[in-house]
Amino acid sequence: MTGRLHDKVVCITGAAQGIGAGIAETMAKEGARIIIGDVNDDGAKSLAAQIGTTALHLDVSSQEDWQALAAHISERFGKLDILVNNAGLELVKPMRDHSLEDWRGVMAVNVDGIFLGCKTLEALLSKSGKSGSSASVINISSIAGIVGYPDQLAYNTSKGAVRHMSKSLAIEWAAHGDAIRCNSIHPGCIRTPMLEMAVEGWVENGSVPADDPWGAIASLCPLNRVGTPEDIALGAVYLGSDESRFVTGIELVIDGGWVAR
């Protein structure tokens, strides 16, 4: 690794495990100074100790938690260069079994969480962007934000909203000269605790065979494997670094070719 994020201050949500943890580890190797925000305090602290960084309690659906995080970043670092909105919840069941509470619970984390993060940290990001190279917001959507999948209506809809929110903010920040770029990443099947839980359900309902569920998922992917958090992290490093200085409003699909078929 070559210090592609040297001295950049980065906030990553939902980084106690899975894709967020992979992004934190990879960005730390590239020289970033990282703040992890997660509801899983023990997991976040343990990763922070491992990579030498800070963990703060953050429920992304809480405006008060975001305000406390912004105050901490302002006091400790005085700037924010990159915000990775990664925290997310999945809900797998047919629409007929979605309660309004289920629907709102998914939207609160996957959509409100990103709105609140962008809104609360906008001033810190803009200050940093205007004083050097542009700041970067990276929103983790999904291939489910581009194409439909059965039995996850709230999740798919929330990820479609993340895709559009990212483009709208990219244009709004450009129009106002805020010096903040904004892009979305759309992971395919990435082996994390979230996907492991989903796969248990697929085994139970017979959509993948119990003897080799991961092999079956890999065989559906043109590149014939399940992705890793590092696959996503490498895209996030590009979008966070100055290498992507002319890139805003894009949707970066990292899925081994899944939605290209």
- Shortest reach from residue 198's CB to ligand NAD, in Å: 8
153 binding ligand NAD? (CB under 6 A):
no
Out of 89, 146, 153, 237, the residue judged to bind ligand NAD by CB under 6 A: 89
User: Quick one: 20 or 129, whose CB is closer to ligand NAD?
Assistant: 20
238 a catalytic residue: no
* Catalytic residue chosen out of the listed positions 155, 173, 202, 258: 155
End-to-end CA distance of the chain: 33
Residue 174: strand pairing partners: none
Does 58 help bind ligand NAD (rule: CB under 6 A)? yes
Q: Which of residues 157-176 bind ligand NAD (CB under 6 A)?
A: none
Contact 82, 138 (CB under 8 A): yes
Distance (Å, whole) CA 170 – CA 247: 10
For ligand NAD, the closer CB: 92 or 194: 194
Q: Report the alpha-carbon distance of residue 147 to residue 7 in Å, rounded.
A: 37
Asked if residue 109 binds ligand NAD (CB under 6 A), the reply is yes
Quick one: which of 117, 129, 187, 240 contacts ligand NAD (CB under 6 A)?
187
Answer for the pair 82, 136: CB distance below 8 angstroms, yes or no: yes
Q: How far is CA 252 from the centre of its chain?
A: 12
Taking alpha carbons only, the member of 208, 96, 186 closest to residue 138 is: 186
| CB-nearer residue toward ligand NAD: 86 or 136 | 86
Q: Which two tokens stand for residue 59?
A: 């429920």
User: How many angstroms separate the CA atoms of 37 and 12, rounded?
Assistant: 6
Residues with catalytic roles? 155
Positions that interact with ligand NAD (CB under 6 A): 13-14, 16-20, 38-40, 43, 58-61, 86-90, 109, 140, 142, 187, 189-190, 192-195
